Amino acid sequence: MDATTLTLAQAAQALNAREISAQELTRAYLERIEALNPALNAFITLDAERAMEAAAAADTRLGQASATPLTGIPLAIKDLFCTQNLRTTCGSAMLANFLPPYESTVTARLKAAGAVVLGKTNMDEFAMGSSNETSFFGPVRNPWAYDRTPGGSSGGSATAMAAGLCAGALGTDTGGSIRQPAAMTGITGLKPTYGRVSRFGMIAFASSLDQAGPMTRTVEDAALLLQEMAGFDPKDATSINEPVPDYHAALGRDLKGLRIGMPAEYFGEGLGQESRTAIEAAMEVYRSLGAHIHPISLPMTRHAIPTYYIIAPAEASSNLARYDGIRFGHRCADPKDLKDLYCRTRAEGFGAEVKRRIMLGTYVLSSGYYDAYYRKAQQVRRLIAEDFSRAFREHDLGVILTPTAPETAFKLGEKNADPVSMYLSDIYTINVNLAGLPGISLPCGFDAKGLPIGFQLIGRPLDEATILATGHAYQLATQWHKARPEGKS
C-alpha cells in the first residue's frame, strides 16, 4: 500500500485500525516531499524532525480515548499561520527569519487534535497574488503541468495536496486564495463563513475578508479538518460565537428537492468554453440526484473586482504598516535616521506586488479620496452582499453553483506584466469574500490540455454543512477527485 495515495479519511481509518503507524505515514510523506519538492517548490520550510516526534506521540495516543480523526494525520500549513518556533515567512523577504513567539489558534487546535505538521507551504507574498509568482521564495509549479502556476495565493498548499505531499493542507482565502488554486490543481478547497474559523495568529492581509480553510483530496476530508478548525475564539474579536455542527454527520444528506441557484452573470463571456461544458455536466449530475437548478441573477457581480481592489489594499496598507524594521522582520543597513530606516526597510523587504497594493491602499485612504473610493466601495460591498441574501431568500436556495475560475491553470509568467489581467482571475470568488459567505471548489473535469477544471458551491452564512453535503454527493457520483497528476511534467 502506498500510504500517500489515501484520502485523509482513509488514512485516519488505517491509523485507527493499526494497519499503518503515524510514524510510517509521516515518513512516507517526508520521503515523497524529498523526491518531488525540489521541482515543485511547494514548501518553504520543512519540519521533519518535529513531525516525526509528533507522529511518535500520535502513535501512543492512537487507540486511546483521546484520539481524534486527525491524530497522526500529516498536514501542510500555509506559511501565513504563525507556528511557535517554526519559521513563518508569509512568502516575504520581510519575514525571511521570523520565528513566531506564539501559535495561531487554528494550528494549535489541529496539533491538539494530534495532527502532524510536515512544514510550511509556499505562497504569494503576504497572500497578494493569484499565481504564486509573487513569493520571495520562487514560484510553485503545478503538478499537472510544471510550466504552469498552481494558482494562488495558497499555491504551495494546493500543489502539496495535488502532488500527494500531505494528507491535508491549510490555506487562507481573502479573494479566492483557497478556491482558485484548488480548482487549478484538481483538489477540494473550502473557504468557511467569515468568522467561523479564528484568525488569531494568521498574518493579516485584509482583516475584513481573510478566512482560513482546508484544502483536501475530498469534501469528506474538508469536513474532518473544518470540524477541528471551526469555533469561537475569544482571541479573535470577529470570531462568531455559535455552536459548530457535526459536519461529517451532515454529509449523508439526500439532495432530493435541493434548490441550486445558477447566476447568469457567472456564465457570461469571460468563462472558457471547456470550463462551461464541464460545469454544465456537473449540473446534470445534480439534476440526476434530484436537485432543481434555478436560473438566478446577481446583478452586482461585475462590480466585485473594483470593490475588492479598493477594500483589500486599503486594509492591507494599514495592516502592513507594522513592518517598520524595528520590532521584528527585516531592517535595512546603516539607516541615517528613522524615516530613512522605515523607507528603505520597506523598499527592500517588500516585493513589487505588495508595494503596488500598499500604494493603492494608501492612495484610496488618503485625504480627499476616502469618500470617492473607500466609502463608495464599502457601500457597494453592502449591495453585493444583499444580492446574495436576496437570491437565497427569494428562490429559497440551498446553494449557488458557479465556476471557480474563468480558465484553467495559466503559464508561469503569462500574466505577470499586467496586474489588471491577474486581478480578473479572481472574478468568480471575490464576491463570496465581500459577502462573507462560505464557498467550496471541487474538481469536475479536465480541459483538452489535461488541466483540472473546478466549480464552486456558495452557501448561506454559517451553512457549511449544506455546501459540504452538496459537494460530497457529487463526489460519490463522480470520479474527478480521484484523478492524480502522476507522471506529468
Partners of residue 45 on adjacent β-strands: 120
Nearest to another protein of 186, 329 (CB atom): 329
| Sheet arrangement for strand 43-46 | 43-46, 116-121, 74-78, 168-173, 211-216, 188-191, 439-446, 452-459, 399-403, 259-263, 292-296
Q: Which amino acid is at 58?
A: A
Cis amide prior to 153 (ω within 30 degrees)? yes
Nearest to another protein of 54, 311 (CB atom): 311
The residues, any chain, with a CB within 8 Å of residue 35's CB and separated by 6 or more, are none
Give Rg (Cα) of the chain: 21
Catalytic residue numbers, as ranges? 78, 153, 177
In whole angstroms, how close is the CB of 239 to another protein at the nearest point? 8
Nearest to another protein of 74, 436 (CB atom): 436
Nearest to another protein of 85, 277 (CB atom): 85
Nearest to another protein of 287, 302 (CB atom): 302
In whole angstroms, how close is the CB of 55 to another protein at the nearest point? 27
In whole angstroms, how close is the CB of 249 to another protein at the nearest point? 25
Q: Which amino acid is at 352?
A: A
| 404, three cell numbers | 471557480
Whole-angstrom distance, CA of residue 485 vs CA of residue 399: 30
Of 439, 448, 477, 14, the C-alpha closest to 214 is 439
In whole angstroms, how close is the CB of 115 to another protein at the nearest point? 25
In whole angstroms, how close is the CB of 436 to another protein at the nearest point? 2
Nearest to another protein of 269, 486 (CB atom): 269
Q: Which amino acid is at 56?
A: A
Q: Strand 439-446 vs strand 188-191: parallel, antiparallel, or unpaired?
A: antiparallel
In whole angstroms, how close is the CB of 74 to another protein at the nearest point? 28
| 284, three cell numbers | 446534470
Dihedral (C-alpha) 203, 209, 215, 219: value to the nearest 10 degrees? 150
Whole-angstrom distance, CA of residue 137 vs CA of residue 24: 30
